Amino acid sequence: MQQRVNQAETKTATLWQWINNTFHRFGSPKYFYDLTGKLLPWCWAGVLLVLIPGLIWGLAFAPPDYYQGNSYRIIFIHVPAAGIAMMGYAVMAFAGIVTLVWRMKMADVIAKVVAPIGASFTFLCLVTGAIWGRPTWGTWWEWDARLTSMLILFFLYVSVMALRAAIEHPDVAARATAVLSIVGIVNLPIIRYSVNWWNTLHQPSSIRLTGSSLAPEMLYPLLACIVGFYFLFAVLVMLSARNEVLLREYRSAWVKKWLKP
C-alpha cells in the first residue's frame, strides 16, 4: 500500500518535472526555431485541408437559414475571427505573465508578434459583424454590450502595440506591455458573457458546452472554419515569431550557422 502511494508520488513528480522541463525548453530560442520549423508545414496543411474546404462548404454547400437567408454565411468567418481575437489576447496576456514572473525572453517574442495579428482578427470580427448586421438588424452598429466590449478589445490591442512602440528600451517595453495586457484580461469574460448578463441586440451564443443550436449541416462547416482559423493564426504567429527570434538572437552561433548558405 505504502509502496503504491510512493509510486504515484514519483509519477506525479516525474510528470511535473516533464511539464517544467518542457516549459523551460520553450525558453530556448534555438529550440523554438527548430520546433516551429517542424510544425509549420503541418499548420499550412491544416489551412489548406481544413480552412479552405470549410469555407467552400459554408459558402456553397450549407443550406441557407430559414429566417436570415444567405447573409448568415458570414458566420463562417465572423465567429472564427471572434474566437481568434479573444484567444489571441489570452495568449498575449499569458505571455505577459511569463515575461513578468519568469523573465523568459521567448514569451516577449510571442507577446510582441501576437498583438498585430490579434488586432487584425478583432478588426475582421467587428467589420464582418457590421456587414452582417446591416441586412439582419437594419443597422451597421449599435452600442450594445457585446459590440462595445469587442471594440474595447480592439483598442486594447492597439494600445499595447502603441505602448511597445513608444518605449525605446526593449526590456522596459516588454514589462510595460505585459502589465497592460494582463490588465486587459478583465475584458475577456465581459465579451463572452455580455449577451447573458445584459440586454443586447446581439443574440446569445449558438455553440455552448451543452450543445449547439445550429442545424448540423451548418455546424460542421462552422467547426471546420473555427479549427482552420486556428491553423491560420498558428501559421502567422510562428512565421512572425521566427523573424523576431532571428533578429534578437543574431549574435548567437546557431543563427550565424543558419545564415551561412
Partner 1 sequence: MYFDSFADFVAMGTHGPYVWSAYALTLIVVLANLGVILHQGRKVQATIRQKLRRQQLQEQDSYEP
Partner 2 sequence: MNPKRKRRLTIIIGLVCGLSVAVGFGAYAMRHSIDLFVTPGDIAAGTVPTNQRISVGGLVVDGSLKRGDGLTIHFDVSDNKSVVAVSYDGILPDLFREGKGIVVKGMLTEDGRVVANEVLAKHDENYMPPEAKAAIEKAGHPKGV
- Site residues for partner 2 per CB under 8 A: 63-68, 72, 75, 97, 100-102, 135-139, 142-145, 182-183, 185-186, 190, 197-201, 203-206, 213-215, 217-218
Are the C-beta atoms of residues 229 and 235 closer than 8 Å to each other? no
The burial class, CB within 10 Å (0-12 / 13-18 / 19+), for 200 is: middle
Q: Which residues pair with 210 in a beta bridge?
A: none
| Residue recorded with cell 506525479 | 12
CB of 242 to partner 2, least distance (A): 28
Binding mask 233-252 for partner 1 (x = CB under 8 A): ---x--xx-xx--xx--x--
Question: Are 50 and 227 a contacting pair, CB within 8 Å?
Answer: yes
At its nearest, how many Å lie between partner 2 and the CB of residue 205? 6
Work out whether 134 is an interface residue with partner 1 (CB under 8 A).
yes
List residues bridging with 212 in a β-sheet: 207
Residue 82 found at the interface with partner 1 (CB under 8 A): no
| Closer by beta carbon to partner 1, 96 or else 221 | 221
Binding part of the chain for partner 1, among 32-40, 73-81, 154-162, 177-185 by CB under 8 A, reads 73-81
Residue 221 Cβ vs partner 1, minimum distance, rounded to whole Å? 11
Closest CB to partner 1 among 8 and 127? 127
Helix (H) or strand (E) holding 164: helix 145-166
Please, which residue, 222 or 235, has the CB nearer to partner 2?
222
Give min distance, CB of 128 to partner 1, in A: 4
**Taking phi first (over 0 means left), then psi (-120 to 50 degrees means alpha), and beta for anything else, what does residue 208 get?**
beta
Residue of 130, 114, 234 whose CA lies nearest to 184: 114
Q: Does 39 bind partner 1 (CB under 8 A)?
A: no
DSSP annotation string for 129-145: HHHHHHHHHS-S----H
- Cα distance between residue 184 and residue 42, in whole Å: 32
**Binding region for partner 1 (CB under 8 A):** 55, 59-64, 69-71, 73-74, 77-78, 81, 116-117, 120, 123-124, 127-128, 131-132, 134-135, 232, 236, 239-240, 242-243, 246-247, 250, 255-256, 259
